[in-house]
Amino acid sequence: MGHGGRITDELIEVTVDSIRVHMPTGQHVVILKEKQADRYLPIWIGVFEANAIALKITGVAPERPITHDLMAATFGELRINLNRIVVTSLDNEVFFARLFLQQDGREIDIDARPSDAIALAVRLECPIFVATDVLDRAGVIPEKEEEEQAGGGGVDEDRLAVFRDLVNSLDLPDLPDEPGSRGGGQGPSSS
């Protein structure tokens, strides 16, 4: 089905915009933002992964290492570099991702859930990419962009209404608002 293996589609770099809680259900969503445009990709994730991402973004250090900290430390000790993560595909409303690692000149490509991949990416400060096809199918543009264009269109308007309802029902007051305060203060590293 193409969930694994080589990435052939064009990739778009994104950043972690925020982690939100859908108040009626208590479910968590990570919002990725396209770096060069105002398009967002919401991905539903588990509470533990949401907390793992939020801890790093907000700069809170847990008393003991959590699983993603352990993985990052292990990678460091084994001299494994996480070059990038890629959200590769979307099938039946399930997102798939890959870790692209390098150890002693050897390229390693590992299947991962997007939530785990993102939690590692924010710890190891590596770039996050989304396959163009995935962003084209599941990405959304905020309402103000649509109003400025003034030429709404059926399916896109429906997609925006769903996203608008989702965003309006989300709440997470503890993330910083300043873009420079996310990602450990150094910004994405280039590999």
Helices and strands (DSSP H and E) totals, the chain: 6, 7
Number of domains present in the structure of the chain: 1
Per residue in 94-128, pLDDT (tens digit) is: 999 999 999 999 999 999 999 999 999 999 999 99
Whether 125 is in a domain gets the answer yes
Does residue 189 lie within any of the structural domains?
A: no
Is residue 139, in this structure, part of any structural domain at all? Answer: yes
Check pLDDT > 90 for residue 144.
Answer: no
Closest CA to 138 of 172, 86, 84, 87: 87
Cβ proximity of 141 and 34 under 8 Å: no
Backbone angles phi, psi at 175, to 5 degrees: -90, 145
Residue 169 lies in a domain: no
What integer pLDDT is reported at residue 168 of this predicted model? 56
Residue 132 sits in which domain range?
Answer: 11-156
Task: Indicate whether 60 belongs to any domain.
Answer: yes
Is residue 59 one of the residues assigned to a domain? yes
Torsion sign over Cα 118, 122, 126, 129: positive
Residue 172 · residue 20 · CB < 8 Å: yes
The answer to which of 133-137, 160-164, 183-187 has the lowest mean pLDDT is 183-187
CATH classification of the domain holding 75: 3.10.690.10
User: What are the tens digits of pLDDT across the range 48-81?
Assistant: 999 999 999 998 888 999 999 999 999 999 999 9
Task: Answer whether residue 74 is part of any domain.
Answer: yes
Q: Which residue has the higher pLDDT, 7 or 86?
A: 86
Instruction: Tell me the pLDDT tens digit for each residue of 7-40.
Output: 445 999 999 999 999 888 889 999 999 999 999 9
Residue 171 pLDDT more than 60? no
Per the model's pLDDT, the better-predicted residue between 189 and 147 turns out to be 147
Q: Does 4 fall in a domain?
A: no
pLDDT score of 1:
38
pLDDT (average), residues 131-152: 75
pTM above 0.85, yes or no: no
Task: Compute the C-alpha angle 132/89/59, nearest 5°.
Answer: 85
